[in-house]
Chains A and B, each alone.
Chain A
Amino acid sequence: MVRLTRQYFDVKDVVWSTETSFKEGILSIHKEELLEQVKPLMKSVTNVDLELVKPGEDTRIIHLLDTIQPMFKVEGSGQQYSGFFGEPDTVGEGVTNLLRGLTVMESAPLPWDDSASSGLLYPRDAIMDMTGPIAGFTPFAETINLVVIYELVEGKSSAEYDRDLRLIGLTIAQELAKLTQGQTPDETEVFSIDEVNPDLPNVVLVWKCQNQGVYSNTLLYGLPIDNLVPTLLHPNELLDGCVVSGNYVWPAFKVPTYLHANHPILLELYRQHGKTLNLRGVILGRSHNPTNWHKQRSANFCIKIARCLKAHGLIMAWEGGGNAAVDGMLTIQAAERVGIKASTITFEFGGQDGTEGILLVDDVPEADAVISGGSIEKTYTLPKVSRVVGGDVLRLNKESGGYFPPAKESITFDTTTQLYLSGNQAGHSKLFAESY
Chain B
Amino acid sequence: MCLEIISRDHDYHWEAGETSVSTLRAIYYVNQFFAGIGGEDKAHLGLHVYDEKKGPAIGIEGLWKGEMEIAKVLACGDNFINNDDLYASILPEIAKVVREVQPHVFIAGPAFNAGRYGVACAKLCDYVRRELKIPSVTAMYYENPAVEMYVRDNYIVETGETAGSMRQALPVLAKLSLKLAKGETIGPARLEGYLPTGHRYNQYHEKTGAQRTVEILLKKLQGEHYRTEVPLRGLESVLPADPVPNVRAAKGALITTGGLVPKGNPDRLKQAFSVTYGKYSIQGLDSIPARDYESIHGGYDTTHVNEDPNRLVPLDELRKLEQEGALREIHHEFFTTCGIGTNVESSKLIGQGIVADLRQEGVEFGILTST
| A371 surroundings in chain B (CB, below 8 A) | 209, 212-213, 216, 229-230
Contact call B200/A430, Cβ cutoff below 8 A: no
In the complex, chain A residues 293-346 whose Cβ is within 8 Å of any chain B Cβ: 312-315, 317, 321-323, 341-346
Flag the segment in B68-76, B162-170, B220-228 that touches A: B220-228
Contact call B268/A400, Cβ cutoff below 8 A: yes
The answer to whether A369 and B189 touch (CB under 8 A), given A343-B216, A433-B200, is: no
In the complex, chain A residues 352-372 whose Cβ is within 8 Å of any chain B Cβ: 353-361, 363, 365, 367-372
Cα(A204)–Cα(B212), bound, Å: 16
Q: A374 in the interface, Cβ–Cβ < 8 Å?
A: yes
Q: A168 in the interface, Cβ–Cβ < 8 Å?
A: no
The answer to whether A354 and B198 touch (CB under 8 A), given A272-B218, A345-B209, is: yes
Q: Which of A351, A371, A424, A425 has the most CB of B within 10 A?
A: A371
| B226 surroundings in chain A (CB, below 8 A) | 369
Chain A 370-382 against B: per-residue CB contact (8 Å), 1 yes, 0 no? 1111110110000
Q: A187 in the interface, Cβ–Cβ < 8 Å?
A: no
Closest to A366 in B: B232
The contact of B341 among A267, A322, A346, A401, by CB within 8 Å, is A322
Chain B 295-319 against A: per-residue CB contact (8 Å), 1 yes, 0 no? 1111111110110000000000000
Contact call A322/B2, Cβ cutoff below 8 A: no
| A369 surroundings in chain B (CB, below 8 A) | 216-217, 219-220, 226, 228
Cα(A372)–Cα(B202), bound, Å: 10
Q: Which of A120, A341, A374, A398 has the most CB of B within 10 A?
A: A120
Cα(A249)–Cα(B190), bound, Å: 36
CB distance from A162 to the nearest CB of B (A): 14
| B301 surroundings in chain A (CB, below 8 A) | 118-121, 212-213
| A424 surroundings in chain B (CB, below 8 A) | 209
Contact call B232/A365, Cβ cutoff below 8 A: yes
A426-B209, A436-B6 known; 8 new pairs, CB 8 Å cut-off, are A322-B341, A323-B340, A343-B213, A353-B6, A399-B269, A432-B204, A433-B203, A436-B200
CB distance from B218 to the nearest CB of A (A): 5
The answer to whether A434 and B297 touch (CB under 8 A), given A349-B343, A427-B208, is: no
The contact of A350 among B186, B189, B200, B205, by CB within 8 Å, is B200
Contact call B188/A435, Cβ cutoff below 8 A: yes
Contact call A355/B203, Cβ cutoff below 8 A: no
Contact call A367/B232, Cβ cutoff below 8 A: yes
Contact call B204/A431, Cβ cutoff below 8 A: yes
Contact call B230/A264, Cβ cutoff below 8 A: no
Q: B270 in the interface, Cβ–Cβ < 8 Å?
A: yes
Contact call A120/B297, Cβ cutoff below 8 A: yes
Q: A136 in the interface, Cβ–Cβ < 8 Å?
A: yes
What are 20 of the A-B contact pairs (CB < 8 Å)?
Answer: A119-B298, A119-B305, A120-B298, A121-B301, A277-B221, A313-B221, A317-B213, A348-B230, A353-B3, A353-B201, A355-B2, A358-B233, A358-B343, A359-B230, A370-B232, A371-B209, A371-B212, A378-B201, A430-B207, A433-B202
The contact of B201 among A118, A213, A354, A400, by CB within 8 Å, is A354
CB distance from A429 to the nearest CB of B (A): 6
| B189 surroundings in chain A (CB, below 8 A) | 435-436
Contact call B344/A357, Cβ cutoff below 8 A: yes
Cα(A114)–Cα(B295), bound, Å: 12
Closest to B223 in A: A341
Contact call A432/B203, Cβ cutoff below 8 A: yes
Contact call B6/A321, Cβ cutoff below 8 A: no
Q: A201 in the interface, Cβ–Cβ < 8 Å?
A: yes
Q: A417 in the interface, Cβ–Cβ < 8 Å?
A: yes
Q: A203 in the interface, Cβ–Cβ < 8 Å?
A: yes
Q: B206 in the interface, Cβ–Cβ < 8 Å?
A: yes
Contact call B230/A370, Cβ cutoff below 8 A: yes
Q: B291 in the interface, Cβ–Cβ < 8 Å?
A: no
The answer to whether A429 and B200 touch (CB under 8 A), given A272-B218, A358-B344, A360-B233, is: no
Cα(A34)–Cα(B266), bound, Å: 48
Cα(A210)–Cα(B200), bound, Å: 28
User: Across chains A and B, which 9 residue pairs bring their CB atoms closest together, nearest first?
Assistant: A354-B200, A427-B210, A119-B302, A357-B345, A427-B209, A264-B210, A357-B343, A343-B217, A399-B296
| B133 surroundings in chain A (CB, below 8 A) | none
CB distance from A319 to the nearest CB of B (A): 14
| A417 surroundings in chain B (CB, below 8 A) | 272-273
| B197 surroundings in chain A (CB, below 8 A) | 435-436
Cα(A399)–Cα(B265), bound, Å: 7
| A398 surroundings in chain B (CB, below 8 A) | 271
| B342 surroundings in chain A (CB, below 8 A) | 322
Contact call A368/B209, Cβ cutoff below 8 A: no
Q: B240 in the interface, Cβ–Cβ < 8 Å?
A: no
Cα(A371)–Cα(B264), bound, Å: 40
Chain A 248-268 against B: per-residue CB contact (8 Å), 1 yes, 0 no? 011000000000000011011
Q: B214 in the interface, Cβ–Cβ < 8 Å?
A: yes
| A20 surroundings in chain B (CB, below 8 A) | none
| A314 surroundings in chain B (CB, below 8 A) | 217
Contact call B221/A201, Cβ cutoff below 8 A: yes
Q: B248 in the interface, Cβ–Cβ < 8 Å?
A: no
Closest to B203 in A: A434
Contact call B211/A120, Cβ cutoff below 8 A: no
Cα(A429)–Cα(B21), bound, Å: 45
| A277 surroundings in chain B (CB, below 8 A) | 218, 221
CB distance from B266 to the nearest CB of A (A): 10
Q: B44 in the interface, Cβ–Cβ < 8 Å?
A: no
The contact of A268 among B205, B210, B298, by CB within 8 Å, is B210
Q: A269 in the interface, Cβ–Cβ < 8 Å?
A: yes
Contact call A400/B217, Cβ cutoff below 8 A: no
| B295 surroundings in chain A (CB, below 8 A) | 119
Chain B 167-193 against A: per-residue CB contact (8 Å), 1 yes, 0 no? 000000000000000000010111000
| A344 surroundings in chain B (CB, below 8 A) | 213
Cα(A118)–Cα(B303), bound, Å: 6
Cα(A358)–Cα(B341), bound, Å: 11
Contact call B341/A399, Cβ cutoff below 8 A: no
Cα(A315)–Cα(B197), bound, Å: 28
| A425 surroundings in chain B (CB, below 8 A) | 209
Cα(A363)–Cα(B235), bound, Å: 8
Q: A276 in the interface, Cβ–Cβ < 8 Å?
A: yes
Closest to B198 in A: A355
Cα(A121)–Cα(B305), bound, Å: 14
Q: B152 in the interface, Cβ–Cβ < 8 Å?
A: yes
The contact of B299 among A120, A378, A401, A436, by CB within 8 Å, is A120
Closest to B339 in A: A322
Closest to B8 in A: A436
Q: A428 in the interface, Cβ–Cβ < 8 Å?
A: yes
| B303 surroundings in chain A (CB, below 8 A) | 118
Cα(A121)–Cα(B189), bound, Å: 41
| A433 surroundings in chain B (CB, below 8 A) | 200-203, 229-230
Chain B 335-363 against A: per-residue CB contact (8 Å), 1 yes, 0 no? 00000111111100000000000000000
Contact call B205/A430, Cβ cutoff below 8 A: yes
Q: A415 in the interface, Cβ–Cβ < 8 Å?
A: yes
Chain B 262-285 against A: per-residue CB contact (8 Å), 1 yes, 0 no? 001100111111000000000000
| A359 surroundings in chain B (CB, below 8 A) | 200, 230-231, 233
